Amino acid sequence: MIRAEVALEDTWDLSTLFKNDKAWNEGLAAYEKMAERIPSFKGTLSTSADCLSAYLEFFRDISILEEQLGVYSGLRQSEDEGDSTARTMTGRFVMAAAKVQAASAWAVPEIQAIPDTDIRRFLAEPRLAEFAVYLAKLLRYKPHILSASEERMLALHSEAENAVSEAFSVLTNVDIDFGSVDTPEGQRPLSQSTWSLFMESSDRELRKQAYTTFYRHFDLHKTTIATLYGAQVKQNVIKARIRNFSCARAAALFPDKVDEAVYDNLIATVHKNLSTLHRYYTLRKRILKLDELRHYDVYTPLVPVAARKTKWNEAVDLIAAALAPLGREYVDVLTGGLCARWADRYENKGKRSGAFSSGSFTGAPYILMNYKEDSIRDVFTLAHEGGHSMHSWYSARSNPFMHYSYTIFEAEVASTFNEELLFQYLLKTAADPALKRYLINKRIDEILATLYRQTMFAEYEKRTHELEETGNPLTVDVLRNEYRQLLIQYFGPEMVLEEMSDLECLRIPHFYNAFYVYKYATGISAALALARRVLSGGAQEREDYFAFLKSGGSRFPLESLKVAGVDMSSAEPIQAACDIFGRLVDQLETN
């Protein structure tokens, strides 16, 4: 189905951002016109509270418009990636935003150059109240901000910073032809996206064929890809040194005010619980009736998908029932939005795959779906994205623009929290034992993928950056050796690794966004803890959770989660998540 054939009620209504493309073009023109004012503020910010406030009010207004422009053009492009009009809009916006970033590169150093006594005096002025959090966070960076000319050079270079990751993406998604595999339905193309589907097949020979074919192509390009990743790590290290951080990891964790000990604590706690993970792989081997557990055997479901058809409105009703412990406002706003065109519901030709939520300060918190009625997974995906959207909804209504936006560290908590409530509701109400068994297996694999596997990835990133920082070249052999050690450690004695298994380290796109994946592991740990706290608690526990949703960017992530009732600086939430995983394995083993 092409985009023009999709029913209007099944698409999102982007008019909360711009009425149409014409209005967007007018908005872009206004944005570019506003940008002409940027030089007029230069050199004035330290003169008085009024001058600083005037600039910040201007910066707020142009940033709100910038967000609207970026979200609208991005959503329009996701409707049909082949739509040249939408792609042109995105390109025009990116170019305009890069110019604004370069033109205003002087502002942060100028603010940070204001003497401490003066900035304290300025902050006492009521006019600056809405910028207090923004300024406090900005001033944290003072030891890491360079001169205005140096900042301008870095800003001009910002567009080129993505060249390495873009080259990796183009190489692995476009230039490499992974060929095809033989299936009972005939030849089927093999790609980065279809590979995961083949790995879930119940046909072991098909899994083996797809696995071997897939990694054979990575083997052919291993030196090039290793060079790209090595360049990315080197770039991370150099940038951290330029900004006077002790290491690349410290630089990556600094914006969230997360101590490196939190990262290390995650790895150490997961290490203590690897025996439970190994026990699951032993169970997997037994249920699949295998003589040897291979790397291509770890993704296929152990329990057949329970037959269930759930129409869109039925899914919305199911999610409403599952989220009832959060109260009427939360449920009514979410379900109202899902039925009133917050979401772009179904697949069409050229539409971006997968799902996401895209919230903004002024517009609705939109959701992209490719919903399929025969997939119970898509009901969970809708609940997940609904969690993101409601987080955005509460944040935007509880904070001024300058600190309404929450971090990725917190984002995965709100989404996974909703999934856990849906899981618990279905497990409690499902009459079909097959569905219950399927749900347990599904939840095990989700926790494994999000907690254990992302921690393994996080440990790999830690190792590779430490090697670069201590002067050890990241050759393809070095990368593979480090990764193979982790595969052996995490998969345990039951796993028989292939010679090419360690090539997996070359295919993970998240590695080009350094020290990001650990947030998935901490996020699911926090979400599981908070879900149990809300379900077993009362009004106070629910209000604590809403305090977290409403925090936006007014607190640092660990602080906002502590308000909700979970301390991520301790090992307790990680250990509790590992314990939950262990109990689910027990249930699967006995059912």
Residue with tokens 């150059």: 113
> What would the two tokens of residue 483 be?
């990764």
* Best CA proximity match to 330, nearest among 251, 406, 390: 390
Residue 385 annotated among the catalytic residues of the structure? yes
CA–CA dist 294, 312 (Å, integer): 38
Residue 479 CA to residue 505 CA, distance in Å, equals 7
Q: By C-alpha distance, which of 410, 495, 499 is closest to 456?
A: 495
Dihedral of CA 360/365/366/372: which sign?
Answer: positive
What tokens does 436 get? 């219950």
SS3 label, residue 45: coil
Question: Is residue 184 exposed (0-12), middle (13-18) or buried (19+ Cβ within 10 Å)?
Answer: exposed
Q: In 3D, which of 293, 371, 257, 548 has the Cα closest to residue 12?
A: 371
- Contacts for 193 with CB less than 8 Å, ≥ 6 apart: 353
Of 79, 151, 385, 419, the catalytic one is 385
What is the Cα–Cα distance from 531 to 526, expressed in whole angstroms? 9
Q: Do residues 514 and 566 lie in contact, with contact meaning Cβ atoms separated by under 8 Å?
A: no
Asked whether the beta carbons of 139 and 132 are under 8 A apart, the reply is no
CB atoms within 10 A of CB 345: 20
DSSP state at residue 256: G
Q: Which of 219, 192, 429, 476 is nearest to 321 (CA)?
A: 429
Residues 499, 280, 181: CA angle, nearest 5 degrees? 45
Q: Looking at residue 509, what DSSP letter applies?
A: G
Name the residues annotated as catalytic. 385
